[in-house]
Chains A and B, each alone.
Chain A
Amino acid sequence: MSVEARERRQPWILLSPALTAITLLLFIPLVFIAVYSFWLRTATGADQVGFFLDNWQEALTDRFYRDILLYTLKIAAITTILCAVMGYPAAYFIARSKGNKAILLLLLMLPFWISYIIRTMSWINILGVSGALNTFLLWIGIIDEPLQMLYNQATVVLGLIHFLLPFMVLNVFVSLDGIDETLEDAANSLGATRWQAFLQVTLPLSLPGLAAGGLLCFVLGAGTYITPLVLGGPSDAMFANLVFEAIITQLNWPLGSALSLMLLVVLGLLVMVYNRYLGMAQLMKGLG
């Protein structure tokens, strides 16, 4: 074999284990559940192989699923907006700080390393009936008996923000850090106020980072079922909870497949729109 031919083959040899793993453990399984979603769960518990539209009919026409899908998107949207509102100024502070940026960023990334389940349950210590906040309010005498603050929609959003905020901060920071600070100074010297300079120069230049952070927050938020289970009440189930119910509790795998694919298509469309206009490169910058 010629040297060039070997040069050409080598990268594929190196890539093949990873590509094989992803094909066998992700792409083929996704095709498989697309097929599975047309099978039918029978009363005996065995799944009947065939081409039945029942699961899709149920998933697409039952108001119950549609309502929870819309509710899930709403929760994800609220979470994303709040993450942006909280994360942008924090990222701006880090990027423009005269202090040690690396330490400031590391500090805010630290909770990102701490177990998701621990961070989620930690809010019970704060907001629970005998948690920090109730104890404090009782102590200063504002209330006479503990308030019931947990297990509602607001605490689910709170838990999601706590989980997702580092993704937003990191992405916004990466794009703010890449903006030449003298641009703002130039705008100032040309007569713009600091606020105008920010709105018309810095903010537009940092939008790609904001969009990347927003996409991550939205997609991760919309796909979660643990946070509603730990911090939500019985009526705060999100779409992924329905998937979990169908697959693990009811063992209705054909229906669970259809529901999974619905979630994949909705969130996948979002990723594709993002990719069409902004490309994946920005997202990878924030993740690496």
Chain B
Amino acid sequence: MAARDSSLGWHLIRGYAMAVYLFMFLPIIVVVLLSFNASQFGSFPMTGFSFRWFGELWNNEAILRAFRTSLVLGLLTALISTTLGVLASLALVRYKVPGANTISTILIAPILVPEVVLAVALLLFLNFLGVPKSFGLLLFGHVIFTLPFVILVVQARLVAIRRDIEEAALSLGASPVQTFFQVTLPLMLPAVMAGALFAFTISFDDITGTLFWKPGGVETVPTQIFAMLRNSISPEINALGTVMIVMTVGLPLVGAAIARQMSKKSGL
């Protein structure tokens, strides 16, 4: 409506919203800016433009190790969590399950429980069973924490897939197994990818639970940054932050683009 676009109230709301956007982005922009600062210290004033700190990152053995740990952990978490999540989502979307509401609540329970409490409970219980702080414990923790997110995302997308295509395959003589692998799975792929990406990003980002579960000497990227912050903020941390920003923002965007491309190709 024209009156709304030009009214004073609308201008005020727009200005306010812009200020909120600025609030969200300003600190992030400053991180990226400072990571190119030539100065010795991770602070203003900017003394020049330099890639030096990215080079330092590349030569920092501790950071590279943390990167490898986070990467392997994130990939394994995504693999396991997505498998469990897709199966559960299929059951909830495709079948009339008695007590579906209760089951849904149980499945998202890991995000209803504060992460600190989940971290303590898992650490103490698995330690009691003889699993010490280890990569395995980290993996268990990350899987259980990411599972609800995967289920929510996958479920939302599965609902959109039309069932009659599968029914057509079945009525044309394909076996249920053939139908699943040749019809259902390709149709589900964007949902599966979205779930996996979500799980990977959340795992890659996690620090709250990770600090409880990680054994001494093992660091993930977030815990490495946290440890480095103990001294003071350095240009290296800002450079690492920039790399993380590019990864966590870039990956989902690329993923979304791929998903769109694939769903276009499949013509559905």
Contact = CB atoms under 8 A, between A and B. Distances in A.
A9 B237 CA distance: 52
Given A22-B109, A86-B23, A185-B1, A122 B28 contact: yes
A126 B27 contact: yes
A14 interface: yes
A107 interface: yes
Contact of A223 (B91, B116, B140): B116
A135 B44 contact: yes
Contacts of A287: 108, 111, 149, 152
A115 B245 contact: yes
Interface stretch (A51-59, A203-211, A252-260): A252-260
Contacts of B248: 113-115
Given A11-B91, A26-B121, A280-B104, A165 B24 contact: yes
A281 B101 CA distance: 9
Given A18-B85, A18-B151, A119-B28, A114 B114 contact: no
Question: By DSSP majority rule, is chain B's interface helix, strand, loop, or mixed?
Answer: helix
Contacts of A195: 9
B84 A132 contact: no
Given A22-B107, A32-B124, A89-B13, A271 B27 contact: no
Nearest to B244: A115
Interface string A217-243: 001001111100110000000001001
B264 interface: no
Contacts of A244: 116, 211-212
Contacts of A19: 88, 103, 106-107
Nearest to A127: B27
A247 interface: yes
Interface residues of A, number: 84
B141 to A, nearest CB: 8
Q: Name, among B121, B212, B226, the residue most crowded by chain A CB atoms within 10 Å (CB to CB).
A: B121
Contacts of B151: 18
Contact of B115 (A86, A166, A223): A223
A266 to B, nearest CB: 10
A26 B95 CA distance: 26
B5 interface: yes
A7 B211 CA distance: 44
Interface string B235-247: 0011001001100
B147 A125 contact: no
Interface in B223-268: 225-226, 229, 233, 237-238, 241, 244-245, 248-249, 252
B152 A288 contact: yes
B24 A29 contact: no
B16 A17 contact: no
A65 to B, nearest CB: 15
B12 to A, nearest CB: 9
A190 interface: no
A162 B121 contact: no
A267 interface: yes
Contacts of B25: 111
Contact of A30 (B24, B103, B113, B226): B113
A92 B12 CA distance: 12
Nearest to B116: A240
A269 interface: no
B112 interface: yes
Interface string B195-210: 0000001001101100
Interface string B19-61: 0110111111011001000000111110000000000000000
A30 B121 contact: yes
A116 B222 CA distance: 8
Contacts of B140: 25
A7 B95 contact: yes
B110 interface: yes
A17 B88 contact: yes
Given A118-B241, A125-B42, A284-B152, A33 B26 contact: no
A116 B26 CA distance: 15
B120 interface: yes
Given A18-B84, A131-B44, A244-B211, 16 more contacts: A21-B143, A22-B147, A26-B118, A32-B124, A86-B23, A90-B16, A107-B21, A115-B245, A121-B225, A122-B241, A165-B20, A243-B117, A243-B120, A253-B124, A287-B152, A288-B152
25 contacts: A11-B95, A26-B121, A26-B122, A26-B144, A32-B128, A33-B120, A90-B16, A90-B21, A110-B249, A113-B249, A117-B225, A122-B27, A122-B30, A130-B41, A131-B44, A194-B4, A219-B114, A222-B114, A224-B208, A226-B211, A260-B117, A260-B121, A284-B108, A287-B152, A288-B156
Q: Top 8 A-B pairs ranked by shortest CB distance?
A: A223-B114, A29-B121, A122-B27, A29-B125, A93-B17, A130-B43, A14-B91, A11-B95
